Amino acid sequence: MEHEFSTQAVHPGYIEPFASVVQWNRDGHITIWTTTQGIFDVREGTATILGIPESMLKVIAMECGGGFGGKGPNTNPLNPMAAILSKKSGLPVKMVMSRKETFESTCPASATHIRIKMGADKKGRITAAQCYLAYQAGAFPGSPVGAGVQNGLAAYKIDNIEIDGYDVVTNTQKMQSYRAPGQPPATFAVEGVVDELANKLGIDPLEFRLLNAVQEGDRMPNGVQYPRIACVELEEAMKAHPHYNAPIDGPNVGRGISVAARAIGGDGATPHVATISINTNGTITLMTGSNDLSGTRTTVAMQAAEVLGLDVEAVVSTVGDTDSAGWSGVANGSKITYSTGLAAIAAAEEVKKQMSARAALIWEVVTEDIEFNDGIFVSIKNPENSMTFKELAGRLMQTGGPITCTGYSFPTGPGGVIFGGNIVDVEVDPETGKVEILRYTTFTDVGKAVHPSFVEGQAQGSTAQGVGWALHEEYYYTKDGTIANSTFLDYRMPTSLDLPMIDTVIVEVPNPGHPFGLRGRAGEIPIVPVIAAVANAVSNATGVRMTKGPMTPGSILEALEEQTAQS
């Protein structure tokens, strides 16, 4: 079975445009207040452009009004310009992009052209796959084609594969990361052919995927063995869900499913630092250098609190600036809960050691004789000697002074490989080509959900963006190369009127490589299967294989007319 697929460039669609305030002080020090996913990245990039030492720059992150990868490494051109203007004027300078400037000068996700060829035996085992992926890079090399190459086939055990990826430079603005960069288009193509194979063999599409699902010990497309993963558990959860078995009746109605994998990406291998200071009232102050895009101040604080036996309300969690926080990687790849969380755990463990030493000093025993459980320090030799964390914190100044501990993590990649799945029902109007989504259920493999409602919100928002990619959104270029739809009026993103309530299912198979079983990346995997699931649903509703995104009313009518002409 062989098909060719294409998608168009899409914008992350963050509501807040790029904005910066810069002050160049008389002593040569520069302070930048900006919207970003990484303060240390801004410091490095701006210092390089201005030709000054990084030590002369302080970057303070404002609350980020949406990023989704689009406000990641070196994406904001305003900072050096505002700095030079501030130096010239002797005053602080504020610069804000208009919406038109945001669409035209910032970085969308790549357009793609993909060809997939797959074969299976009569028993339903996929025997071979061949993939050709061409991704638009824009004016400079560097599209996320590598992620498409790595992840397109990653949910399937296939002995014979050949994958070619091409980074194609085009006369457009530079392409950039957007939520699970490079992976939704690859999954769209692979899952379309997988559905066709299942139909050809007369096998239920989910049974076909289970038959070929990867498990621990199988190999990724790059040859690396899978650690403990949850592909089978996720697909079994999909099969057992009432949505999959619910009747779907009526003309022009179709159900689609898809499964996706997301391996290490998004600069997963970056250092992260967390610092904990003990306050005399028994609370702790947790400072990190990792920007909070989705509630990570809370999820990181929860992990520190768990180690120290505290309520999360006892943790004052802050994001520092480049002068006060330890160097930490960019907040992309949905890695902060995992990676910065590990740094917070390490800092909390050091706090336990130093606090135990203070308790030992008070009780005149050695540190090894101190036991700590559920926020209480106890002397093993004299069990009547015990103090709560709060009580001991109140005596720090009499036993050697304040305690501040720093934790460091440098994980090789958050959580290994995670999986996501979708079940979606649609109705297609054959007269207009309009698609109405009737029901949507998303399944997310998270290892362990630190904050389940945060995970649900991420899954719903990510799915909504995927629906926009599938049905509405695209950069439309005129013949002279200008963008014709550089406003939110003309660039069609889905609203609440376009979507039903998105049901979420969290699949928990703990990651043995994390103290609490986390895998991370809960904010990105939900978008990966969306284009594929919607395309499979539309294909089943119309009887025509959808291979072009977005599946606008016009493109659907065109596909239907082509089928009529061929028949």
Relative orientation angle of helices 336-363 and 296-308, to the nearest 10 degrees: 30
What per-residue confidence (pLDDT) applies to 413? 56
Weakest mean pLDDT among 106-110, 167-171, 425-429, 441-445: 106-110
Average pLDDT over all residues of the chain: 94
> Is pLDDT at 412 greater than 70 in this prediction?
no
For the residues 123-132, what does the mean pLDDT come to? Answer: 98
> Is pLDDT at 59 greater than 60 in this prediction?
yes
What per-residue confidence (pLDDT) applies to 415? 59
Give the burial string for 451-462 (b: 16+ CB within 10 Å, else e): beebbbbbbbbb
Say which residue, 411 or 210, is predicted with more confidence. 210
pLDDT tier for residue 563 given thresholds of 50, 70 and 90: confident
Residue 469: burial class (beta carbons within 10 Å; 0-12, 13-18, 19+): buried
> Is pLDDT at 395 greater than 60 in this prediction?
yes
What per-residue confidence (pLDDT) applies to 264? 62
| Contact indicator for 418, 527 with CB cutoff of 8 Å | no
Half-sphere exposure of 545 (CA within 13 A, CB side): 18
Task: Quote the CA–CA distance of 567 and 560 in Å, as a whole number.
Answer: 11
Task: Quote the CA–CA distance of 519 and 508 in Å, as a whole number.
Answer: 10
> Distance of CA 364 to CAs 361, 382, 383, 390, 392, Å?
5, 11, 14, 20, 15
What per-residue confidence (pLDDT) applies to 47? 96
> Is pLDDT at 201 greater than 80 in this prediction?
yes
Q: What is the largest CA-CA distance in the chain?
A: 91
pLDDT digit string, tens, across residues 14-23: 999 999 999 9
| Contact indicator for 333, 268 with CB cutoff of 8 Å | yes
| Contact indicator for 52, 43 with CB cutoff of 8 Å | no
Q: Which residue has the tokens 């050697």?
A: 400
Half-sphere exposure of 391 (CA within 13 A, CB side): 11
- Length of the chain equals 567
> Is pLDDT at 86 greater than 70 in this prediction?
yes
> Is pLDDT at 266 greater than 50 in this prediction?
no
Strands ordered across the beta sheet of 160-169: 2-7, 112-120, 126-138, 160-169
What's at 248, amino acid-wise? I
How many other C-beta atoms can be found within 10 angstroms of the C-beta atom of residue 246? 12
Task: Quote the CA–CA distance of 197 and 210 in Å, as a whole number.
Answer: 14
Token pair in block for residue 511: 């990651």
Token pair in block for residue 107: 């970085």
Half-sphere exposure of 422 (CA within 13 A, CB side): 37
For the residues 26-42, what does the mean pLDDT come to? Answer: 95
Q: Which residue has the tokens 């168009």?
A: 8
For residue 307, give the nearest of 347, 354, 365 by alpha carbon.
347
Residues whose CB falls within 8 Å of the CB of residue 466, separated by 6 or more in sequence, listed in order: 184, 526, 527, 528, 529, 530, 531, 534
Task: Quote the CA–CA distance of 19 and 65 in Å, as a whole number.
Answer: 10
Q: Over pLDDT 90: what percentage of the chain?
A: 87
pLDDT tier for residue 267 given thresholds of 50, 70 and 90: very low
Task: Quote the CA–CA distance of 34 and 22 in Å, as a whole number.
Answer: 8
What's at 23, amino acid-wise? Q
Q: Which residue has the tokens 């992009």?
A: 97
Task: Quote the CA–CA distance of 513 and 240 in Å, as a whole number.
Answer: 28
| Contact indicator for 71, 293 with CB cutoff of 8 Å | no
Phi, psi dihedral angles at 174 (to 5 degrees): -65, 135
pTM of the model: 0.95
* H helical segments located in 7-155: 39-50, 78-89, 99-105, 145-151
386-388/376-379 β-pairing:
antiparallel
| Contact indicator for 527, 179 with CB cutoff of 8 Å | yes
pLDDT digit string, tens, across residues 478-503: 998 899 999 999 999 999 999 999 99
For the residues 529-546, what does the mean pLDDT come to? Answer: 97
* H helical segments located in 52-119: 78-89, 99-105
pLDDT digit string, tens, across residues 316-375: 999 999 999 999 988 887 889 999 999 999 999 999 999 999 999 999 999 999 999 999
Residue 131 gets which letter from DSSP? E
Relative orientation angle of helices 78-89 and 39-50, to the nearest 10 degrees: 60
Q: Could you check whether the bond before residue 550 is cis, i.e. omega within 30 degrees of 0?
A: yes
DSSP 266-291: SS-S--EEEEEEE-TTS-EEEEESS-
Residue 323 gets which letter from DSSP? T
